[in-house]
Structure 1
Amino acid sequence: MSMSQSTLDDDDLFGEAATEMRSDVEEHLDAAREALPDPDDVWDVEADNTLGVLNALRSGLDPGEAETHLRDAKKWYTMGERADAFDDAGDLEDDIEAVEDLIADLSAAREQVSDLAGTVPEIRSELESADEERDDAGDDESDE
């Protein structure tokens, strides 16, 4: 095999590898989107009280396996970029950023809901204490 033949084969192999890498990134991005919560799970919740609503919402906001798939997409994208394997990777970069932003929004909202789920029972308890004190004060006045 001549030197130019070997180079041609290497170029063909590199081209195949680049195509497979792009395909891997796209497949992982699709899997990430598929793993995102269903919009109805975030919007429609059934519960008996506020805490139940907050817990259901917190569960609905869980990005689940989407984060793992996004990580894999970024891994293959980074490898392809460093190898200069993509002719144009702008679309992949945009898609990665969009999924990444959505996961970040889910995580931030989930954290806020978790904070609220922790605060609401405390507020209820404080209100109950205030209510009891008010009742006790009312009883004291009626005793006089």
Structure 2
Amino acid sequence: MTQTSLDDDELFGEAASEMRSDVEASLDEARAALPDADAVWDVEADNTLGVLNALKTALDVGDAEDHLRDAKKWYTMGERADAFEDAEDLAEDIETVEELVETVEDAREQVGDLTATIPQLRSTLEEFAADDEQADADGDAEAEAGA
């Protein structure tokens, strides 16, 4: 084996190691960018809409998607170059983080839907209650007039 091929193998090994480190670092950054469990659970507000808005804000995945994309990019490069000896753990970690990001985004979307629905529901219920009170008042007035 020539010195050049030994150097090439050594360089490839270093590059593969760096790629793995890049994937792991990006996954760590993605995990760190996800919402904190307490921020999602402990929300303070004066009313339901305030709670929903605070929850929606807490469910923001931030830069997690970008970091996950970087991890997937470096992982794909490494896989295609056959640079990883054992990459199953990386693939599992990527899948786990990806599923969590999707779950948080789905929850945020559901909260957003509720945030849009609750004020309209309140308004409808107030109108219904006012109409019901008016009907009761009209019925009492008719009863007094007939007596």
TM-score by length of 2: 0.94
TM-score by length of 1: 0.96
The number of aligned residues is 142
Provide the aligned C-alpha RMSD in A: 0.9
How do 1:96-135 and structure 2 match up within 5 A?
96-135=94-133
Q: Distance in 2 between matches of 1:13 and 1:53?
A: 54
SS at match of 1:121: helix
How do 1:51-130 and structure 2 match up within 5 A?
51-130=49-128
Mind listing any 5+ residue stretches in structure 1 that lack a counterpart? none
Amino acid in the other structure paired with 1:34: A
1:7-58 deviations in whole A, cap 9, x for unaligned? 1111111111000000000011111111111111100000000011111111
Amino acid in the other structure paired with 2:114: L
Identity across matched positions, percent: 65
1:4 positional shift: 2.2
1:57-112 deviations in whole A, cap 9, x for unaligned? 11111111111111101100000000000000001001111110100000000001
Q: Distance in 1 between matches of 2:15 and 2:102?
A: 31
Amino acid in the other structure paired with 1:89: A
Which residue matches 1:17? 15
List, as ranges, runs of 4+ consecutive aligned residues in structure 1 with deviation greater than 4 Å: none
